[in-house]
Amino acid sequence: MSGAPGVTSLATAVAACWPSTPLTVPVLVEADASGGDIAAWRSLDSDESHKGLVSLAVASRTPAPVRVSGAGEAWAQAGLVGAPVTEAVLRYAVEVPGGLRVVPAPADPLEAGRAVAMLAHNPALLGSGRVTVLDVGRAVPGSAGAALLRHADVVIVLADPGQVGHAARLRACAPVLASLRDDGIRLGLAITGSCPHSDGEVSQIAANLPVWARIPHDSVGAALVRGEHRPPTRLRDRWAAWRSQRRDPDSLEWMPLIKAAKSLAELCDDFSGIGVAVRERGAVEVGVA
């Protein structure tokens, strides 16, 4: 079982909604030590042995020279010193319907855990993409997933403070979160579930981290990121969909999950300065308390 329900869905939505430019190719890396879900969701071809988290982790131990990408050449021509010029992460990603590039983790927790631990010791390749969104699942303090957090520009902590257990874990993780913030990493909370507490109250138990978003329950949006959503095709069904939602059935942003993820992606893009500022790191991590 996955150790962090909802994190993969949110991470996928954030990566898919990331502001796109010719110089930006968002890549979602499923670095969940408890095992991955995306390969099963999307029925990805298991014959592509050179793709995925395990191959990326192995390559991270002995990084080889990588061809300079067209985007990297454009950065160089623009005179942006320090901009990433490799596309190493993309070599291990598969493209799912809709255009998102994903580095899926194996479903086996033992295999996935080993790969995440390897990446935590050799994280350089994760910064080779212009935008890398990491799904680290439940980032237990002291774990390899938690170690990856220290290499990010921005960290989104997904939690349900309405549940006593989640609130207690938030409080217990507060020192670790404060330490990450002291290292200059931007951290914020994404609140899920029916939380009766105000943003200020939630922030107080989580090292005063700001609440960046409240993620609504959205079964249609969740089905979309899992590859299960099918928009209506018959005219009668499309008319019925429009009447029930008062939205274009081909549009996606009316879905509450997609709308929240788009706002989060734009906020993280602003915070990290991706696309405008010169920074060596370009990772955004989604974890769970």
pLDDT tens digits for 238-247? 555 555 555 5
Q: What's the pLDDT score for residue 165?
A: 80
Domain range annotation of the chain: 7-288
Q: What is the dihedral of CA 43, 31, 88, 118, to 10 degrees?
A: -130
Evaluate whether 224 touches 207 at the Cβ level (below 8 Å). Answer: no
pLDDT, the chain, mean: 78
Query: Tokens 């190719």 belong to which residue?
Result: 25
Confidence of residue 12 (pLDDT cuts 50, 70, 90): very high
Residue type, 288: V
78: pLDDT strictly greater than 60: no
Sign of torsion, CA 29 30 32 34? negative
Q: What's the pLDDT score for residue 270?
A: 87
**Which helix (H) or strand (E) element contains residue 268?**
helix 256-272
Query: Tokens 């409080």 belong to which residue?
Result: 171
In angstroms, the CA 6 to CA 158 distance is 8
Confidence of residue 75 (pLDDT cuts 50, 70, 90): very low
7-288 folds as Rossmann fold (3.40.50)
